[in-house]
Amino acid sequence: MIAVENLGLRIGQTQILSDVSLQIAPGEIFGLVGESGSGKSMTALSLMGLLPRGAVTTGTATLDGTDLLSLPEWRRQRLRGNDISMIFQEPMTALNPVQTIGAQVAETLLVHNRANRADALRQARTQLDRVGLSHIALDRYPHELSGGQRQRVCIAAAIALHPRLLIADEPTTALDVTTQAQILDLLKALVAEENMALLLITHDLAVVANMARRIAVMQSGRVVEQGPTAQVIHDQRHPYTRALFAASSHRPERAAQTGDAAILTVEDAHRHYPGPRRGFTRTDPIRAVNGVSFTLKRGESLGLVGESGCGKSTLTRAILGLDPLTSGSITLNGQPISPTMPRARRADMQVVFQDPYGSFNPRWRVDRILTEPFHLLDTPPPRDAAITEALKAVHLHPDDAHKYPHEFSGGQRQRIAIARALITRPKLLVLDEAVSALDVSVRARILDLLADLQRQFGLSYLFISHDLTVVRAITDRVLVMQAGQIVEAGATEQVFTAPQHSYTRQLLAAAPRLPDPIGAPHVA
Amino acid sequence: MNRLPATLLLGTLITAVFAVAALLSLVWTPHDTTALSISDRFLPWSSVHPLGTDQYGRDMVSMLMEGTRTSIAVALIAIGIGITLGVPLGLIAAAHRGSALDEVIMRGNDMVFAFPSLVIAILITAIYGPSATNAILAIGIFNIPVFARVARGGALPIWTLDYILAARTAGKSRARISAEHILPNIANLLIVQATIQFSLGILAEAGLSYVGLGAQPPVASLGKMLSEAQTLIYSNPGLAVLPGLSIVILVLGLNLMGDGLRDALDPRLRRART
């Protein structure tokens, strides 16, 4: 039994957590939901005793009667991996790339002196079998495994000593929907088998809604609402909970304005990479993009959906004219696209990337960042006026032009990225997972902004994403991509309500869905 | 209001003292360092010779001023050679990662790396005769692969970032991206490496002078003073300790300045400090 009572946390002068109280019974899945900065990860780290230097805690957090917060470090070390373990969001960086997976699972047992080397490896095998990796040898390295398999390895290591509490911090956020569904099923089964408590931390309400018996909603270091999952979803007593639910299923208001003329045409596009070297020969080429054809009309918003490795990034780079095609053609306004095309042709098409942190040179100020695409124009418009206009278009203040990117939040940065894309007045915007890294409430506002800009400037969108909810909210038509090919294409609502291809059906079935708040008495 | 960090101030102050002394020695030293006076040798510290005299009766203050000048000049020019040739090579290699050009540049680097610097120095000396200039050349050549590697290594992860893709969609060439985006973001690495290479340069100059391949008499250098004082370390330890201390303090000052500069140049760290 885990009991957290009035947990407070202060780092320096900043109060991170206040009055966090929650109980998790053995065999229970407890969902901790909140946006970034709400303190959900810090709550978990408090339990693990892995807080950053200078952190001061108040209150208690007991595991079967032992107060975790007051333990000296050496006693905590015995608990970690033994009674409490944790899995993280990014399974690639959570594993050591130069150690075999067998060694890493066995390590937990060795550290706690529960087995000798041979025994530990034998038990590692058993644990890996339990998490569904019976076909993977112990001497494999993390890079030889897929994202889902790596997360399974992390889980195997975490449960090797049968912990009483497993903390899963965004365990499926970095994974594809179908993999996410499998990992969640696995966690559910393990909780029942081991009778352990699972603290599931996520920003995704849909994930916890289907998993947790009880959930707590966190906002700025406080639990604003907690209770049985069904009740929280149904009642939504706290305004923040309501806002979170509303944002999760937010659909911006859009007016159909699809024209007849095609702006972007992709015809039988192929992009093959040389296969891996085997001795002096190479194996068959990898067909990352294998015969893709589609047209994007003026003013249309077209979604491109697919899981990682399906070739959508390769296709995107070819469309942006960054990489060449092996065969086939891409035309923008009837002009061919290629890495060697004249600069001016690129001005009609700009891109917004996923990562609001990696999208800007950290040493440049916003004004310089925004005007970089002016390089494409022979006679750029007056600089200051263009900067002000672009910042206003994305609802930022003109004074922000003199700041550095690190002075902005994730959502604001994504607005800057959109402003940069708009500055050459393009006709086509490629949105490459442009809202995937954002919190739901921020995401909702960015989607509104995109819908607004589309109307205002008559933009066409190519919206690339793995997130089906978002694609459904913002696109007119959708393409489903699998293994380098488009397996299904059609009007968005039609594809989502009556999918034709088995892969589309599989994707839709795997996507976690929010239950409708029946009655929803408090929703205005 | 941005306050300059204490390390930068201290480092700059130390470096400035040495730089001023070195520059001053170009036009004035308390005593003439080319005039030998055996009767004045090993004089203790006095008002005429504040740090005494060496085994040839030369004033130590004057010798240190000149020696600092030679050492700084050799190390600085050698770093200059390394940076002006090495950094562009590294940037080009990173911009064309995996291509034949990358291979040619980096394997060429490896070859220079694998060559013992002393052998090159002897080779140069055999052809052109020993001098400070040839010491600069020898040390400089060996700075090239160091900076090329650091530049390439720092540039590679930056090439994978989204803002590079954004710059490419803005139609910029690889060379332009390297200059505008990559170089400013690896500047901190290069500054730190430069301070390390500076210390190594001073030591390398000392080594080359020691075997007679560096600065030739009557030119003084800190390294040469150090090696000449070697046999007198027990009878007159001051002759070795003074140039040794000068090297230590100078290198320390430069390292502090390098660290401070790196922090001051980074807008993210600048903000975090205030």
What would the pLDDT profile of A144-186 be if each residue is shown by its tens digit?
A: 888 889 999 999 999 998 999 999 999 988 888 888 999 999 9
**Among A158, A190, A184, A153, which residue's Cα sits nearest to residue A171?**
A184
- pLDDT above 80: residue A92: no
Q: What is the pLDDT of residues A304-357, one digit of tens each?
A: 998 888 888 899 999 999 989 999 999 999 899 998 888 888 989 999 998 888
Q: What is the mean pLDDT of residues B62-73?
A: 88
Residues of B in contact with A363 (CB under 8 A): 184-185, 266-267
Whether A375 sits inside 8 A of B172 (CB atoms) is: yes
Predicted pLDDT of residue A523: 39
Measured between beta carbons, the chain A residues lying within 8 angstroms of B268 are 362, 404, 406
Minimal Cα–Cα distance from A352 to chain B, Å? 8
Residue B6 has pLDDT above 90, yes or no: no
Contact state of B162 with A355 under an 8 Å Cβ cutoff: yes
Return the pLDDT at A464.
93
The pLDDT score that the predictor gives to residue A516 is: 65
Average pLDDT of chain A, as a whole number: 89
Alpha helices per DSSP H over A49-100 = 73-79, 91-94
Is the model's pLDDT at A504 over the cut of 90? Answer: yes
Joined together, the tokens standing for residue B144 give 């090239």
Check CB contact under 8 Å for B185 and A363.
Answer: yes
**Interface residues of chain B, partner chain A, Cβ below 8 Å:** 161-163, 165-172, 180-181, 184-185, 266-268, 271
Residue A367 is predicted with a pLDDT of: 93
Q: Provide the pLDDT for residue A521.
A: 43
- Joined tokens for residue A465: 């994403």
Give mean pLDDT, residues B16-37.
84
Q: Check A362 against B172: CB less than 8 A apart.
A: no
| Average pLDDT of the segment spanning A506-513 | 88
Mean pLDDT, chain B, integer: 84
pLDDT tens string B105-122: 999 999 988 887 777 777
Residue A3, exposed/middle/buried by CB under 10 A (0-12, 13-18, 19+)? middle
pLDDT-derived band of residue A522, with 50, 70 and 90 as boundaries? Answer: very low
Share of chain A above pLDDT 90, in %: 52
Q: Of the ranges A32-46, A176-190, A414-428, A509-523, which one carries the lowest mean pLDDT score?
A: A509-523
- Nearest chain B alpha carbon to A350: B169
Q: Which residues of B touch A354 (CB under 8 A)?
A: 162
- Condensed to tens digits (0 to 9), the pLDDT of residues B212-238 reads 777 777 788 888 888 888 888 888 888
In the predicted structure, residue A520 carries a pLDDT above the cut 50: no
Residue A119 pLDDT greater than 60, yes or no: yes
Residue A10's DSSP bridge partners are: A15, A56
pLDDT-derived band at B131 (thresholds 50, 70, 90) equals confident
Its ipTM equals 0.77
**Contact call for B169 and A351, based on CB within 8 A:** yes
Which residues have a Cβ under 8 Å from the Cβ of A389 and sit 6 or more positions away? none
Select from B159, B164, B169 the residue whose CB has the most chain A CBs within 10 Å, as the one to mutate to test that interface.
B169
Render pLDDT for A470-499 as a digit per residue (tens, 0 to 9): 899 999 999 999 989 999 999 999 999 999
Residues of B in contact with A407 (CB under 8 A): 271
Which of A361, A406, A424 should one mutate to test binding to chain B, selecting the residue with the greatest count of B CBs within 10 A?
A361
pLDDT at B270: 57
Query: Above 80 in pLDDT, residue B267?
Result: no
Taking 90 as the threshold, does the pLDDT of residue A431 lie above it?
yes
Give residue B2's pLDDT: 52
pTM score, two decimals? 0.81
Yes or no, beta carbons of B170 and A321 under 8 Å apart: no
DSSP B181: I
Average pLDDT over every residue of B249-254 = 88
Contact B268 A373 (CB under 8 A): no
Q: Is it the case that residue A100 has pLDDT exceeding 70?
A: yes
Q: What is the DSSP letter of A138?
A: T
| CA-based torsion, A151, A156, A157, A162: positive or negative | positive
Quote the percentage of chain A above a pLDDT of 70: 98
- What pLDDT, on the 0 to 100 scale, is given for residue A168? 93
Q: How many whole angstroms separate alpha carbon A374 and alpha carbon A381?
A: 8
CA atoms of A258 and B51, how far apart (whole Å): 87
Q: Euclidean distance between the first and final Cα of chain B, in Å? A: 8
Cα nearest neighbour of B185 on chain A? A363
Residue B239's pLDDT is what?
Answer: 84
Instruction: For residue B181, list chain A residues with Cβ-Cβ distance below 8 A.
Output: 361
Question: How far is the CA of A453 from the CAs of A233, A423, A432, A448, B189, in angstroms?
Answer: 33, 12, 17, 9, 41
Lowest-confidence region among A178-187, A496-505, B199-208 = B199-208
